[in-house]
Structure formats: C-alpha cells, structure tokens
Amino acid sequence: MVRSIGAQLGLLAFGLAILVGLVVGNSPITILTRAVVIMVVACAVGQIIGWAARLILRDHLQRKKQEIDRQHLEAMRELAETKEEEEAPEPATPLEAR
C-alpha cells in the first residue's frame, strides 16, 4: 500500500509537470528534467502519506477488532449464565424431601 500510493502520486505529478511544461512552452529537456525531479519528490511524499495511512488504518482496525472481541466475550458469558440457570436443579420442597 505504501509503495503503490507513492508510485501513483509520483506518476501523477510527473504527468502534470509534463502537461504544465508543454502549456508554458518550455524546451523538452527542461520539461523532462523538472518532471523527473517532481516525480521523485512526489513519490517520497506519497510514501510518507502511505505510511501514515497504513498506521492510521492499522490502529483503527485493531480498535475495531478489540471492540468486536469484547462484545463477543460478553455475549458468550451471558449465554453461559443462561445455560447454567436452565440446567440448575430446583431446590427440593419440604414435602418432597420426606
């Protein structure tokens, strides 16, 4: 994910730099030189953004998993308590004890 975001941002910046250079009327060497420099910088920035996004996504998913696990544990405890109540024998009345 980190590399793909960096590559996508780098290629987008490269394409935009070429288009802007053509519109302005720069020479092909100037256009390509600037586009390559911008591509490298944008790729580095994209990788930083991708790294941050990965951390945020990982933390969110860990919290979500812990919440789901907690809810599941509570539901299983409630289910176990209801089964214990159903299976518990009723106390004998004084008449039945004789």
Three-state DSSP at 82 gives: helix
HEC profile of 6-46: HHHHHHHHHHHHHHHHHHHCCCHHHHHHHHHHHHHHHHHHH
Give me the sign of the Cα torsion angle 89, 90, 94, 98: negative
Counting residues of the chain whose pLDDT is more than 70, the rounded percentage is 89
Residue 88: predicted pLDDT: 64
> What are the sequence ranges of the domains in the chain?
2-85
pLDDT digits (tens, 9 = 90+) for 63-80: 999 999 999 999 999 988
Asked if pLDDT for residue 98 goes beyond 70, the answer is no
